[in-house]
Structure 1
């Protein structure tokens, strides 16, 4: 999940092809449905992204009571309005009266706290939870921003790699070469420096033990001369999320949960480096997320690959969640203030019915 930032943006306004009273306000590559004539191209307005949870007062002010997502009808979610995908809210709440909007946009001011907007935290099912302990040595994962919000992360034509983004739950494993200890965590617990104590009933431990991930991490640490190795994989299957890729997580003696590695990091000579799993893991050593495209970066190509059918099962059982975009050569992004990496999500995934979003 990407970070929450509620900021003022300069708009580009487009006609709505199916509604005379509506228009489309574009922020980055996102488009949000707005009332006709509410804004013009070049205007500045507040953009509240998907997965933001709004306080009741702001919901009432914006005239959205009962119209947002979630049990409390307070969460921003992508929807189709008269056939057009609307992602996020474009608005000018009273709290911004007197604010120099152009300056706020230039400075990137975040109004989340001022407005009482918070990031939605998905629920954690029992099988994904458990007893935790402090784990300062855990190698952390990073939030990935959506390329539609930040379309300039990659240069046009820059060599990139697209891998399929799976709809499961992220599993963080760190192997400590000094004493052979293994730390396992979820993205949520890992972000707080916590690891899950080993439990044969826990989904993450079942996945890493069932697929031999600790042993693969130990071999990789030896090959690289690393003091720590982080292997980041997606655990998936029926019972994890609504998209199952033909896999069931029900506990059996010979069938662990679905698992696919999407990233690797290693501490070598005191420096943590991000590594391409396909380059550092031996053939068939661990299952990897499907690699869909390698070539020059083109936003239309990226968004085209984000949609379609999944390739994990080999049977195209259901829609694809999206893709993760990385440069062919790992690098820093000044725009993001960190690693150059992004995601693009399928519109069909965002608007599917009965979807689950556990972390």
Structure 2
């Protein structure tokens, strides 16, 4: 998931092609359907992103009672309105009356806490949970921001790799070279520096043992002289999420694919560039499909995010989206960290009966 920030943005208004009373308000590369005439191009308005959970009072104030997702009708979710994808809410709540919106936009002020908006945390199935223990030495996975919110992360023409985003649950393994210690965790637990105690019933540990991930990490540590190695992969298949890619992870060896590797060498942690990751893995573990490698083009990336999946090799269902990263790892001032971003497909966001376990 992306980090939650509820900020004031300058909007661009577009005509809605299928509704006279509606318009499209653009924020970055996101578009949200709004009532016609409420906003004009150049106006400043609050942007509430997807996966935000709103307090009941704000839901009522915005006239959204009964229109949002979740059992309490309080979660912002992508929807299609008269055929157009609407992501997030563009509004001007009363709490911002009198505020200098232009200044708030320029300074990137986060209004989430002021408005009582929190990030939605998906439930955790029993197969993905377990006894936890403190693990300060973990190399945790990071939140990847959405390219539609931060379109300046990559420059047009910059060499990038685009990989398919697999709908599963992130399994993060840290190997410590000095004593062979292995830590296994999920994305959510890893952010809290908590690891899952070894348990043969746990989905993540089953993937680790089934694919000998710790042994591969030890090999990488030896090859690169690393004191710690982090291997980050997606566990997927039936029994994990609603998109299964023709795999069944309920018994035996769960389906698994690596999407990133980090190493600590000389006290410095770095992420392996795409080609280096492929080289050090040397076919020892499955990896997520690469869809494109070459000069960055916004339009092409948006097109690649849609369509059918390639994980199964049979296009059995829709594609979740894509992840973009430079061919040479670098820092991005736009997101304040590693230059990496995702795009999620409209079909995935608006599918029925989807699951979102971390």
Asked if TM exceeds 0.5, the reply is yes
Cα distance per residue 1:21-69 (max 9 Å; x no partner): 0000000000000000001000000000000000000000001011100
Q: Which structure 1 segments of 5+ residues have no match? A: none
Identify the match of residue 271 of structure 1 among 268, 273, 288.
Answer: 268
CA distance in 1, matches of 2:167, 2:47: 26
Structure 2 unpaired stretches of 5+ = none
SS at match of 2:123: coil
Structure 1 residues 260-311: Cα deviation after superposition (integer angstroms, max 9, x where no partner):
00000000011001003213211x2000000110011111000011011111
Which residue of the partner structure matches residue 163 of structure 2?
Answer: 163
Offset at residue 185 of structure 1 (A): 0.1
Q: TM-score, length-normalised on structure 2? A: 0.98
- For the residues of structure 2 that align with 1:311 and 1:207, how far apart are their CA atoms? 21
Distance 1:28 1:280 in 2: 36
1:180 matched to 2:177? The reply is no
- In the alignment, does 2:299 pair up with 1:300? yes
Aligned length: 355
Residue aligning to 2:34: 34
**Using the alignment, how far apart are the partners of 1:132 and 1:251 within structure 2?**
23
2:310 maps to 311
Report how far residue 243 of structure 1 moved: 0.2
Matches within 5 A, 1:150-299: 150-252=150-252, 256-275=253-272, 276=274, 277-282=277-282, 284-299=283-298
Distance 1:300 1:4 in 2: 25
* 1:249 to partner: Cα distance: 1.2
- SS of 1:76's partner is coil
Deviations 1:63-118 (A, max 9, x none): 10111001111000000000000000000000000100000000000000000000
- The DSSP-based 3-state class of the residue aligned with 1:300 is helix
Give the distance between the partners of 2:206 and 2:55, measured in 1 at CA.
Answer: 39
**CA distance, structure 1, for counterparts of residue 303 and residue 336 of structure 2:** 27
Tell me which residue corresponds to 1:134: 134
CA distance in 2, matches of 1:279, 1:95: 53
The structural deviation recorded for 1:167 is: 0.3
Alignment partner, residue 106 of structure 2: 106
Give me the CA root mean square deviation: 0.6
Structure 1's consecutive aligned runs of 4 or more residues displaced over 2 angstroms after TM superposition are none
Distance 1:354 1:335 in 2: 34
Q: In the aligned structure 2, how far is the partner of 1:75 from the partner of 1:177?
A: 43
Q: Distance in 2 between the 1:355 and 1:132 partners?
A: 27
Cα drift, residue 180 of structure 1: 0.5
SS in structure 2 of the partner of residue 106 of structure 1: helix
Partner of 1:357: 356
Cα deviations across residues 99-139 of structure 1 (Å, max 9, x unaligned)? 00000000000000000000000100000000000001100
What does residue 328 of structure 1 align with?
327
